[in-house]
């Protein structure tokens, strides 16, 4: 690999770009866990899912909890709070994001 890094600039850029992307992802995750509360993390997570899936998201509370390294009970409580605030409509195994 060392030989290719010195010999092929395209390979070098490819490897460094990949390392940089993973490192930035790691820093974002650490920052997210250390400095944001679960309400903020959940809202950010849902907004990311809305961009990928649209407003109707087919994920269970357990799947969300696993992605956020939390418990299903915490996610269910926060989702219920969001529903009460008019941000989501909860269905079985899915929900709709209605917050603008």
Q: What is the CATH number of the domain that holds 86?
A: 1.10.10.10
DSSP string computed for 54-94: -SEE---HHHHHHHHT--HHHHHHHHHHHHHTTSEEEETTE
- Kindly report, residue by residue over 25-66, the tens digit of the pLDDT: 899 878 877 788 999 999 999 999 999 999 999 999 999 999
Residues 54 and 76 in one domain: yes
Q: What is the mean pLDDT of the chain?
A: 92
Residues 59 and 97 in one domain: yes
In total, how many domains does the chain have? 2
Residues 51 and 93 in one domain: yes
Please report, rounded to a whole number, the percentage of residues in the chain having pLDDT higher than 90: 78
Residues 48 and 78 in one domain: yes
Residue 97, strand partner residues: 88
Residues 77 and 64 in one domain: yes
The residue segments making up the domain with residue 83 are 37-100
Residue 88, strand partner residues: 97
Secondary structure class of 1 (helix, strand, coil): coil
Residues 68 and 26 in one domain: no
């Amino acid at each position: 690999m060392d030989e290719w890094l010195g010999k092929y600039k395209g390979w070098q850029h490819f490897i460094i770009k990949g390392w940089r992307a993973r490192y930035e992802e790691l820093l974002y995750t650490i920052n997210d866990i250390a400095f944001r509360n679960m309400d903020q993390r959940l809202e950010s997570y849902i907004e990311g899912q809305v961009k990928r899936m649209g407003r109707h998201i087919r994920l269970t509370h357990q799947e969300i909890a696993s992605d956020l390294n939390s418990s299903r009970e915490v996610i269910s409580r926060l989702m219920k709070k969001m529903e009460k605030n008019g941000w989501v409509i909860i269905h079985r195994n899915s929900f709709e994001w209605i917050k603008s």
